Amino acid sequence: MKFTTGIIVVIASMVFFYLRIALLRGRKRRYEREYALKRRKVNGRSKGAVLPQSSKGTPPFGVKSWIMVGVSLILVIFGMLAYNKMTFLGFDLITNQVFLDTSTEFWYIPVALGVVLLSFSIKVDKPDLGDD
């Protein structure tokens, strides 16, 4: 496998995505610990404050903006089409040669931007104490 600039940039954006997910997992665990400590203080118990359990089937992350998710998916799909010279299932989507040359050369930019934008569209909600 030949490593080009495009492959390296896309790999770096994927590593950033996974690091961001790891940071969000850590933040979620910290929120759960803080919630358990506050609950312990509110109820006056010194031991036995269990961590909040989410209902079964609940995803661990939320979405800040579905528009950001849509834009990031469009960017990634556009970058993949540019990598394939704007050909999808044997059909040429764009035939302008100048545009094809430019988009084929810089296909990795929309893919990397889409992955980074997708990483910022994921969030972790802070547990609600119910005393507000």
Q: What is the pTM (predicted TM-score) of this model?
A: 0.72
Q: What is the pLDDT of residues 45-89, one digit of tens each?
A: 555 555 556 666 667 778 888 999 999 999 999 888 888 777 766
Here the contacts of 39-44 (C-beta below 8 Å, separation 24 or greater) are 39/129, 42/129, 42/131
Q: How far is CA 23 from CA 16, 20, 29, in A?
A: 10, 5, 10
Model confidence band, residue 132 (pLDDT cutoffs 50, 70, 90): very low
Q: Where are the alpha helices (DSSP H) in the chain?
A: 5-43, 66-83, 97-105, 108-120
* pLDDT at residue 130, as a whole number: 53
Share of the chain above pLDDT 90, in %: 27
Q: What residues make up the domain containing 61?
A: 5-123
Model confidence band, residue 26 (pLDDT cutoffs 50, 70, 90): confident
Domain-located, residue 130: no
Domain-located, residue 129: no
Averaged pLDDT of the chain: 78
Between 24 and 55, residue with greater pLDDT: 24
Q: How many CB atoms lie within 10 A of CB 34?
A: 13
Domain-located, residue 108: yes
Domain-located, residue 132: no
- End-to-end Cα, the chain, rounded Å: 56
Domain-located, residue 23: yes
Domain-located, residue 131: no
